[in-house]
Amino acid sequence: MVEILNSWSHADGAARASALFRSRFDTEPDGVWAAPGRVNVIGEHVDYNGGPCLPIALPHRTYVALRARPDDRVRLTTRQADPPTWEGRLADIAPGLADDWVAYAAGAARVLLDDGYPIGGFDAAIDSCVPLGAGLSSSAAIECAVAIALDDVNRLGLAASDQGRARLAGVCARAENEIVGAPTGGMDQAASLRTADGKAILLDTLDNSVRQVPLGLDDAGLALLVIDTRAHHALVDGQYAARRRTCEQVAARLGVRTLREVADPQAALATLTDDVELRRVRHVFTEIARVGTVVSLVEAGRVAEIGPVLDASHASLRDDYEVSCPELDVAVEASRAAGALGARMTGGGFGGSAIALVPSDLTGIVMDAVAAAFGDHGMGHPAFLVARAAGPAERVAGSPVARPAGVLA
Ligand code: GAF
């Protein structure tokens, strides 16, 4: 029997978060807000290089029951961490917080305050069915769930438009960079806040625009299988930062702000004499091109043909960018051998998850094959989910908070 990672209904998630809130704070929350994890179809490690990426939001969400306070205190509790509580003042939310989950949960409040938004203290209870450390953006889901709740209870009105949601996503990304200390790009927060139900978004990180892209998987008889390798995944251990630094150094030397703005990628590659730099930058250039290929195929109704592009992305991430690991490689190879049309690691890498594009009727066979291959390699038990493009972060319980006239809509 393979393990399936099930998501919760909104009713279940809201009930869990509310129950945790009541047991910890002995009162009712103002409401419950939920933000999804994501899986990226293509466009890996390009979001901090001005490149495009194509994530979908998952039905797996982090639920936050939250109540505004009349003072500047913040009290947090979660079912997913130990110790499960934190208390402090808004002013205490700063780089160096002891626990990452506290920084994810409270960081957006600090950045909103720094940007001049009128944020007050709050009590919040967090529960989540986003698999932790699986490369599916469990951290961004916490940030975005709290951010959208704070937007609502403080009547900022940002969540009402894509422009405002883009601003909230930027706030959450800065919380991750500045408060958590993880030098990530902005894809995960945009995916959690700016997607639309049933669609991927093409996020262009150069101008921060998004375009909705229906993948058409059901019509093509295909499924996007996510394989959580359960191998360790962490973005703050220096490997991610080192790759980002290399890209930024080369961009600066080439006289551009981001590698996306290099006018002639081939000519630029020809100037690189350091082998590591050459391979890192080659990944970025080729991955950006692959996003274009996938979007063209999908929009032409030819999603069944994107498999080889996913395969090429994996090879590039494995060999040029060097962010794969044995578990991801086994997951990808075993899926292909069992009938997947293409497969690749997804997310930051160094563990986490892979995706496989599979004919729907082969999903069970591919899952069994991957689990068996892990067994053969002594790799423990992977877990699976079939990705369905879900909607963005939103309030899922409680009444709308009345907004004064004149706020950003
Ligand atoms: C992680 C980061 F958080 C994203 O910003 C992105 O860079 C991704 O790795 C790789 O594409 O999820």
pLDDT tens per residue across span 195-224: 999 999 999 999 999 999 999 999 999 999
CATH topology identical between 3-214 and 222-387: no
The closest alpha carbon to 243, from 186, 200, 284, 195, belongs to 284
Q: Is 311 in the pocket of ligand 1 (CB under 6 A)?
A: no
CATH class of 222-387: alpha beta
How far, in Å, from the CA of 41 to the mean position of ligand 1?
Answer: 12
- Cα(262) to centroid(ligand 1), Å: 21
In this prediction, residue 237 carries a pLDDT of 74
Å from CA of 184 to ligand 1 middle: 6
How high is the pLDDT of residue 97?
Answer: 84
Place of tokens 């995944």: 233
Which of 174, 188, 193 has most ligand 1 atoms within 8 Å of CB, for mutation? 188
Distance, CA 318 to ligand 1 centroid (Å)? 15
Residue nearest ligand 1's atom 3 by CA: 184
- So what's the pLDDT on residue 234? 61
**Nearest CA, atom 8, ligand 1:** 348
pLDDT of 399: 82
CATH code of 3-214, in short, is: 3.30.230.10
Whether residue 184 has its Cβ less than 6 Å from ligand 1: yes
Q: Could you give the CA distance from residue 194 to residue 393 in angstroms, rounded to a whole number? A: 8
Residue of 39, 41, 45 best suited for mutating to test ligand 1, as the one with most atoms within 8 Å of CB: 45
The pLDDT of residue 1 is: 85
Predicted local confidence at residue 401, as pLDDT: 64
348 lines ligand 1 (CB under 6 A): yes
Residue 47 beta carbon below 6 angstroms from any ligand 1 atom: yes
Mean per-residue pLDDT of the chain: 95
Residue 181 has pLDDT above 70, yes or no: yes
Pocket test of ligand 1: the residue of 54, 187, 194 to mutate, having most ligand atoms within 8 Å of its CB, is 187
Query: Cα of 382 to ligand 1 centre, how many Å?
Result: 21
**Cα separation, 221 vs 209, whole angstroms:** 30
Determine the residue type at 236. Answer: V
CA of 25 to the centre of ligand 1 (A): 35
Instruction: Indicate which atom in ligand 1 lies nearest the CA of residue 40.
Output: 11
Q: How confident is the model at residue 233 (pLDDT cuts 50, 70, 90)?
A: low
Is the pLDDT score of 402 beyond 60? no
User: For ligand 1, atom 2, which residue shows the shortest CA distance?
Assistant: 184
Delimit the domains of the chain by residue range. Answer: 3-214, 222-387
Q: Looking at the predicted structure, is the pLDDT value of residue 404 above 80?
A: no
Residue showing tokens 């999903």:
363
Average pLDDT over residues 287-300: 98
- Give, in order, the Cα–Cα distances in Å from 29 to each of 21, 126, 236, 368, 401: 7, 12, 33, 43, 13
Residue 370 near residue 329 (C-beta atoms within 8 A): no
pLDDT tens sequence across 253-281 = 999 999 999 999 999 999 999 999 999 99
| 167 CA from centroid of ligand 1 (Å) | 18
Q: What is the pLDDT of residues 50-78, one digit of tens each?
A: 999 999 999 999 999 999 999 999 999 99
CB atoms within 10 A of CB 68: 18
Known catalytic residue: 188?
A: yes
Atom of ligand 1 nearest to the CA of 53: 11
- Quote the CA–CA distance of 238 and 388 in Å, as a whole number: 32
3-state secondary structure the chain: CCEECCCCCHHHHHHHHHHHHHHHHCCCCCEEEEEEEEEECCCCCCCCCCCEECEEEEEEEEEEEEEECCCCEEEEEECCCCCCEEEEEHHHCCCCCCCHHHHHHHHHHHHHHHCCCCCCCEEEEEEECCCCCCCCCHHHHHHHHHHHHHHHHCCCCHHHCHHHHHHHHHHHHHHHHHHHCCCCCCHHHHHHHHCCCCCEEEEECCCCEEEEECCCCCCCCEEEEEEECCCCCCCCCCHHHHHHHHHHHHHHHHCCCCHHHCCCHHHHHHCCCCHHHHHHHHHHHHHHHHHHHHHHHHHCCCHHHCHHHHHHHHHHHHHHCCCCCHHHHHHHHHHHHCCCCEEEEECCCCCCEEEEEEEHHHHHHHHHHHHHHHHHCCCCCCEEEEECCECCCEEEECCCCCCCCCCCC
Annotated active-site residue in 30, 127, 152, 188: 188
The candidate with the shortest Cα–Cα distance to 401, out of 163, 104, 160, 195, is 160
- pLDDT band of 114, cuts 50, 70, 90: very high
Sequence-separated (6 or more) residues with CB below 8 Å from residue 55:
38, 39, 40, 41, 43, 187, 188, 190, 191, 195, 200, 201, 203
CA distance 214 to 275: 38
Q: Is the CB of 100 under 6 A from ligand 1?
A: no
Ligand 1 pocket: which of 130, 184, 192, 246 to mutate (most atoms within 8 A of CB): 184
HSE toward the beta carbon, residue 374, CA cutoff 13 A: 22
Strands 222-228 and 383-387: antiparallel
Residue 401 CA to ligand 1 center (angstroms) comes to 33
Can you read off the two tokens belonging to residue 173? 């990304």
The answer to whether the beta carbons of residues 317 and 283 sit under 8 Å apart is: yes
Query: Over the stretch 360-395, which tens digit does the pLDDT of each residue have?
Result: 999 999 999 999 999 999 999 999 999 999 999 999
182 lines ligand 1 (CB under 6 A): no
Distance separating the N- and C-terminal Cα atoms of the chain: 49
pLDDT average, residue stretch 316-342: 98
